[in-house]
Amino acid sequence: MDLLFPKMRYDHTMPLLDGRIEIPGVTLKPVATPAMVWEDQPDLRTGDFGLCDLNGGYWLSAIEAGWELIGLPLFIKRKSLYQYLFVRNDAGIEVPGDLAGKRIGTASYPTGITIQLAGLLQGRHGVDVSSFRWVVNRKGAVFPLHVETHIEHPDGPSKAPWDRLLDGEVDAIMTDISDGAAWERLEGDPGVRRLFDYQAEDKKLYDETGVYPVMHLIVMSKTLDREHPDLARKLYDGFEAAKTRAYEDILNDRAGFSVVYLRERLVEQTAAWGDPWVYGVAANRNLIDRFIEYNAAQGITSRKLGDEEIFAAGTLET
């Protein structure tokens, strides 16, 4: 069968795209897929797609809304969350609890970053995140919120959240930053700072909970899953094999030459972290449970969803 497959440039998925790892009975057809859901996506809603590399912030709410998609426990993109929390030095924010009641800038709400970072702030640092005053660039939401949430949409020209922070319009930001120039400005401006030593906090979180936060996961058409109930597990096994091959490439010194001593860095990372990109339900039990809880607590979903609702049946035993 031909399968529409997202064009993912992650090193740990490339062996699938370049054909070195094959999925039995499947021919992959790479296509661009939307990671973000800022408006109705008819193909995702109706199940008229194959696989999608989806931002986790929309995963559970889309399923609860009846969209014809289902998750695979393939958490292919993970990032530090604490790195995205910047505060103004003049905003009176010295410890996490001081964030209560503050204006928090973000590009859109909710996303995987806002859901998980707010969850960590409340659960690990005792912050009343329900008091946040979100200042959000993008108006409208595809999925309804189930708790009262203070959201403001500023008038006037569009402005990046970090510009609002640097110009004093918000007290803090919690937003994705995929912009080298923005990082340089934020890290070099004496008027703002990160609230956390993010690398130390990431490692502490991982050591205590086994969680390295998920940004994106693979979802598949629920229609396709019903028609081919064995496909989800084949896909899971293929992604596992691709990740193993990608690690072998680095350890064999055959990949990533733009990073000096990449092989040594992977050896060090494995010794300190194990595999933070681990796939599967069992190995990610704590991450999954927390993510479900955060969604329900913040009103992204109306209740806690169960594994059988959010994962393809063929992957529940992974």
CA-CA distance, 227 to 118, in Å (whole number)?
38
Cβ neighbors of 288 (< 8 A, separation 6 or more) are 73, 281, 307
Residues 105-116 have pLDDT tens digits of 999 999 999 999
Sort strands 85-88 and 172-174 into parallel, antiparallel or unpaired.
Answer: antiparallel
pTM reported for the whole predicted model: 0.95
pLDDT above 80 (res 141):
no
pLDDT digits (tens, 9 = 90+) for 257-280: 899 999 999 999 999 999 999 999
Mapping DSSP to helix (H, G, I), strand (E, B) and coil, where does residue 301 land? coil
Say what the pLDDT of residue 241 is. Answer: 98
- pLDDT at res. 208: 95
**Which domains does the chain possess?**
2-78+213-315 (3.40.190.10), 82-209 (3.40.190.10)
Here the tokens at position 84 are 């995205």
Query: DSSP class of residue 170?
Result: -
Q: Report the C-alpha dihedral over residues 258, 263, 268, 273, rounded to 10 degrees.
A: 80
Question: Which is nearest to 67 in space by CA: 81, 82, 54?
Answer: 54
**Contact yes or no for 237/90 (Cβ under 8 A):** no
Q: What tens digit of pLDDT does each residue of 214-231 get?
A: 999 999 999 999 999 999
User: Smallest Cα–Cα separation from 100: which of 71, 75, 77, 133?
Assistant: 133
Provide the pLDDT confidence category of residue 79 given band limits of 50, 70 and 90: very high
In the predicted structure, residue 47 carries a pLDDT above the cut 90:
yes
Structure tokens, 244:
């193993």
Distance CA 270, CA 284 (A): 17
